[in-house]
Amino acid sequence: VGFLGIAAGTEEEQAKNFQWGLRRILTPLYDNRNSGNGRDQRNRGHQSNR
């Protein structure tokens, strides 16, 4: 039993909650990075190859 005791649940429940928490934190960061000026971001690679 971890320092949180039985209240934390089984290892499987803890892993699911941890993964859910990470997705909840990281998804908005990823969405913000890829939104907005998408056309500019897609064309940058093509322009640099000329």
Q: What is the pLDDT of residue 32?
A: 78
Question: How far is Cα 1 from Cα 12, in angstroms, rounded to an integer?
Answer: 13
Reduce the DSSP state of residue 35 to 3 states and report it: coil
φ, ψ for residue 9, nearest 5 deg: 85, -175
Per-residue pLDDT at 18: 92
Which pLDDT score, from 0 to 100, does residue 45 have?
Answer: 53
Cβ contact 17:25 at 8 Å: no
pTM for the whole structure: 0.41
Contact 8, 2 (CB under 8 A): yes
pLDDT, tens only, 5-35? 667 788 899 999 999 999 898 888 778 777 7
Q: Is the pLDDT of residue 37 over 80?
A: no
Give the pLDDT score at 19: 92
